[in-house]
Structure 1
Amino acid sequence: MKKFIFLLAFVFSFAAISAQSKPDALVLYRNGNYPESIKICEQEILINPRNIDSYCVLCWSLVRNRQYAEAEVRATEARKIAPGDVRLMEVLGEAKYYQGKNGEALEMFRTYIASAPSNAARIGNAYYYMGEIYIRQGKYQHADISMTTAVYTEPLVDLWWTRCGYAREMAGSYASALDAYSKAIELNASQADAARGKERVAARLR
């Protein structure tokens, strides 16, 4: 009996050590090691083809590694298993956005926003990308609304404030554009695009 208990304890200890020593794809992703994260996720999916968490980290890593077409393929593949997973909706929108598939990306981000909780981690990102798509399409008032929502959700991203200022400037809302550009510079004094934008709209308001 004592031998059995000792053997059982050894097995559990070995399993715990193995789990600790196994590379964590999400940690690798967060540390910017996207190729290694992709590799680990692919191995996990081979073992369990229905591992949606691995699919999500895989797709995030593929997007950050600029493998947009592959990210789209894998996210689409994963959505056949879990069509309601909001993480897959959002990352699929990103993959399509970076390939210039504006209409499809916009639809995916709308689906994500309609499906995800209001405090979901990437709500701000979705509104930001929607704003960029509207800028591409010349729909500057729509872009203003999306960018304003993005910076309201995450108010410390200077790039988003800069792009919000640009959308407002292009929509002819110069005073509010000045506010957005000023906020971007407040967050990042070296934000050159915001500085140039602020000069342009200030001249308009003189």
Structure 2
Amino acid sequence: MSTLGTPAAYDSLKRELIGSLTGTVLEIGAGKGANLQSLARADRWIGLEPSASRRRALRRKADRFRGTADVLAGRAERLPVEDASVDAVLATIVLCSVRDQERVLAEVVRVLRPGGAFVFFEHVVPPAGTWSNRAARAWAPVSRVVDHGCDPRRRTWEAIERSDLAIDELRWFELPMGFGVRSPYIGGRATKPASAP
């Protein structure tokens, strides 16, 4: 693990990487559209969101997007998008809550065009032996029920490394959560190689 960045550095990288996305961007777990304002260079945005109540809010925000916007129902394990049809996939605090990370990442590879980007920002398991790690493990069964399926024990960077994506940038951050708990986050970008299936 490299030096941990600050919350300000996390926000800065998030603006930079999301703001760099162009062409057709698929956002998985788009929530209520918090990232739309940063996608100024995208021509088309597709937002995938499994929650019906969040989709309603997402549609209202998508109506104000300057490019073409589509809101889809569905889960990231089975993306309702054609093979090699998007230039970028965006996920922010999503891979902690999906049922099958490997399946989601395989779907990301499937829908990306060769050379396409996967931009991700995710919270991950704290280092073993720390108070934060013990707190995350104790909280996980509750979090899975009350926080949209979130599992704070995941080693998401390893799942990305095992996928057919090539990591271009991976940075670590630490954000305070209260009660002495500090949660590590990762942010970065990976690319679908031209040789990937």
The verdict on a shared fold, with TM-score over 0.5 as the criterion, is no
| Bigger relative contact order, structure 1 or 2 (CA pairs below 8 A, ≥6 apart) | 2
Greater fraction of residues in helix: 1
Q: Which has the larger radius of gyration?
A: 1
TM-score normalised by L of structure 1: 0.28
TM-score normalised by L of structure 2: 0.29
